[in-house]
Structures are given as C-alpha cells and as structure tokens.
Chain A
Amino acid sequence: MSGPFDLNRWKPGPLLPPRDARDGALVFVVAVLCFLACLTALAALAANRAADGWSAQLSGSATVVVRAKAGETPDSAAARAAETLAGVKGVSQAQALTKDKAEALLEPWIGRDALVADLPTPRLVTLDLDPKAPASAEALTKALHEAAVDAVVDDHSRWIADIERGAGLARWAALGVFGLIAAAAAAVITFATRAGLAARHEVIEVLHLSGAEAGFIAKLFQNRFAAMAASAGLLGGAAAVIVGVTARLAGGGAGLTPVLPLAWIDLLAPLPCPLIAALVAGLAARAAALRLLRDMP
C-alpha cells in the first residue's frame, strides 16, 4: 500500500474476494469425504488382494479321498492313488497322508473314541497342482478310474467360486460407496457455490453488467472450488495413507494378513484423490453457477 504505484509490478487482483469465512468448514467437510473415499478404495484393494490370495491357494491344490477296496489295505490304496495321480499332467506333487495324519485331521470332527482301529478310515491324498496349468477334477477322476481306485476328488472349485462371488460383491459395494461419497461432495459444493453466489451478488452483478459472459463468471467459481477441493483432497488422502501405513506397520510384515492384506503399493491409491476431488468440485460449482446466472436479465 505504501510508496508510489509501480505499474511494472502490478498484477490483476482476484475478481472474487479471496476468502470467505465459511471456507474452513467447507474444506473440512470435503476433506472428510475424501478421507472416507480413500479408505473405501484401500479396503476394496485389500479385499481384492485377500480374495486373490485365497483362491490362488485353493486352486493350487486338490484333495482326494481314497476308500480301500476289498482285499486292499487303506495305506496301499492311498499309495496306489498317489502314484497314479503323480503321473497326471498338471500335478506337481501327490502325497498320501499317513494313517496318523488322516486321523489327526478327522479327530476334531468325530472324536478320538470313534477312531476305532479297525474302522476303515478313509485316506487322503493331497495334490499340489501346477499353478500355470492345474489338472482338472475330471482328468484326475478319469486317471483314478482307469487305475481302478475308488476315490473322490475335491478340487475346491466350490470354495473358489464362493470367494470370487464375495470379492465381486465387495468390489461393487466399494464402487457404490465411492459413488455416494462423490455425489455427497458434489452436493456440498453445489450448496457452497450457491451460498458463494448469494454472498457475492454485488460483485457478480457488476461483472455481469460490465459484459462478462456466464462462462467467465462460472469459471471464477469453478476454479475457486476446484482449488479448495484439491487441497481438501490432499488432506483427506494424506490422512487415509497415514491410516494405511499404521495398519501396515501394526499388522507386521504382510499387513493385517490374512484379513486385509495391504501392500505398500496399494497406499498409492489415494494419489489421484486431489485430482478427482477438484474435478467433481469444479464441475459442481460450474453447473450451480451457470444455473443461477441463467436467471439474470
């Protein structure tokens, strides 16, 4: 203010008054919305990762229940089954569980007393499948049938389908929540723009009467609210990353495994948050401003 006016250092001032009292509250609300959106994204990523992990484990293995035929001991039936299965394409390892192990697996289900020695305990053969081209249940059944082994193959496909369905649901739910949050943010910005236009009615009218086009005035609001939302998005996104890092560190090396395994790379998910927030806010402010300006003479 002091000293003579220096034309060479003059820069045009902002056409809208730089600060409104309600800006602080608005930044807070938008930052909270961004925080929630980022948490949703992180949770969706972790759920996805967990589902992938589980189905990979399940599809990499199969279990075969072997029943001994007359004139054959359960152990030899299991050994024959393991031998047959090891030769099938797509099986990397086949191992017959010993009687002790099979009984140990069954004990929680039927109790120790029921495991009478002469009761024919079914034997299990566990298979590790080639992860790239796992043998199908049909191929395994066919091989066992040809070798005349009485056995049932469980390739876990029922469980895998369940997990995939669950993961799909989680993805859709996350997307829905994300959309809701974006809509809420747009609504908040719309209200704020209306309030801003009302509070700045004098300024807008002078611009309007001086020949400013509606798009020119709308752009002032668009830019203002986009900048506000970008900084709110930065705050909200950063808060979500801090929560993610805390979860990652508290959960040990692999995060909150196996419930919600977050990888370090997942923590980059909130990165586009400021951009998306600015986009949503800018568009909402522009639309609200244009609608109000349409009513001017």
Chain B
Amino acid sequence: MPVVRFEGVSMRYGRGPETLRDVGFSLAPGSFHFLTGASGAGKSSLLKLIYLAHRASRGRVELFGRDISLVHAGDLPFLRRRIGVVFQEFRLLEHLSVFDNAALPLRIAGRKPNTYRDDVAELLHWVGLGERMHALPATLSGGEKQRLAIARAVVDRPDVLLADEPTGNVDPAMSLRLLRLFVELNRLGTTVLIATHDEELVARAARPVLHLEHGRLIEPGEAE
C-alpha cells in the first residue's frame, strides 16, 4: 500500500486557473523521491496537497491508504502528525527559542517535556545548532533557520518527510550533510519527498525524480 497516492488530481487557488492538472503518482513506503520543475511549476502546491494545507479540486488523494476526502475532520490532525514538513519559507515561530521551535511537534503530540528534552538537544547538536538553542529565530542566519526547520520536521520521526527547497540557503558542504540526514532518515523507514532546483543534489543522490512542468507531471524522457 503506497504511503501517498494521487490519481487524476487537479488543484486551483480560489477561482484561479488550475495550478496542477491531472497529476498521478504514488510513493511506496520507504521510498526517496525528488520533485523538480521550474519556478512556478507547482512543486510547493503539490506538497501542500500532501500535507493537507489545501484540498484538490478534482481527483483522488490518498494518504496511508485513506482517501482524504472521506477522512473525518477530527482525524486530520493525526494524519498531519505523521507528515514532517520543511516549508520553503521555514515558518518558524518567531517568539520561541530554537529549542522550543524544534520541540513543537512533540509538544503538539502531547508528549511530556522530560521525555523528549534530551532527544531534541541531540538532534539540534546534530544539525549544528547545539550552541544556539536559546536563540530566537530572528537572530539566525538563513542556513541556520533552514536547519532548524529541518530539525522540527524530523523530530517526531514522521512516516513521511516533505522538504521544499531544503538546501536553498546552505553551502555545498552543508547541503551534502543535510542530504545525508535525509538519506539516514530514509534508511530508518521514512518516506522522503524533496522539492528542489538543486541539480547537483539530485544528480548526487541518484534517486527517482518526479518532474513538473506547468502543473503536469512529465515522465522522464518525455518531450516538452
């Protein structure tokens, strides 16, 4: 059973034109995909459908084998908790410390602070923010914010990790390090989908690619 499955999915913002058209694909459990495409092709929009920030206007979206249009509203939060998201624009909570930002999903899941304190600290050390745990996001560099966003996305061991341009603000060395983190999580069973422009990253990882053009998925080798 695929973790994510799209079938004939279209989406639009409000009454605007269709941003995605007739998109179909599926992500097997434990798979690792890249999502590529020009700016404006609809990468972020497609991710929004998966992390349930937006609903499809047509077609069928399945998460963990469940048609989400049939899922009771009260169950949606629990589906969302199984999906970690690195937002393109980070979306850190500016009034909370680095540590509190990283711990947020655990807190929302209702875990007691003393059960996760050490794990959060360890993860922050791992992404190189061990010395900035007190800091507010506004005082972080772009790359540091990115690493914090990644830490928050993976802290609760999600079944699916969605990352939108996770290496957009870091140097090649850090980019490689983050890729290793994603690969490591993937090895532990997390299904990974990374939207990126970073050709070098895609080439280096040698993983299957979903390519979007003007809101349509294009098979590899298919002519434009």
Contact = CB atoms under 8 A, between A and B. Distances in A.
A binds B: yes
Interface of A: 1, 5, 7, 10-15, 17-18, 202-203, 205-213, 216, 297
B108 A210 contact: yes
Contacts of B96: 13, 15
Contact of A5 (B81, B105, B107, B133): B133
Given A210-B104, A297-B54, A13 B91 contact: no
A211 B105 contact: yes
A5 B95 contact: no
A17 B80 CA distance: 23
Contacts of B209: none
Contacts of B100: 12-13
A297 B53 contact: yes
Given A212-B77, A297-B53, A297-B54, A207 B99 contact: no
Given A5-B133, A13-B100, A211 B95 contact: no
A1 B55 CA distance: 42
Contacts, number: 66
Say whether chain A's binding surface is mostly helix, strand, loop, or mixed. loop
B91 A211 contact: no
A266 to B, nearest CB: 45
B52 interface: yes
B133 A213 contact: no
Contact of B108 (A1, A7, A10, A216): A216
B93 A206 contact: yes
A297 B134 contact: no
Interface in B74-129: 74, 77-81, 85, 91, 93-97, 99-100, 103-105, 107-109, 113, 117-118, 121
Closest 5 CB pairs of A and B: A211-B81, A211-B80, A5-B133, A17-B95, A211-B77
Q: Which of the four size classes fits the interface of chain B? A: 20 to 34
19 contacts: A5-B134, A7-B117, A7-B121, A10-B117, A11-B113, A15-B107, A202-B91, A203-B93, A203-B95, A207-B108, A210-B81, A210-B105, A210-B108, A211-B80, A211-B109, A212-B77, A212-B108, A216-B108, A297-B52
Contacts of A5: 99, 121, 133-134
B111 to A, nearest CB: 11
A202 B121 CA distance: 25
A216 to B, nearest CB: 7
B51 interface: yes
A297 B55 contact: yes
Contacts of B55: 297
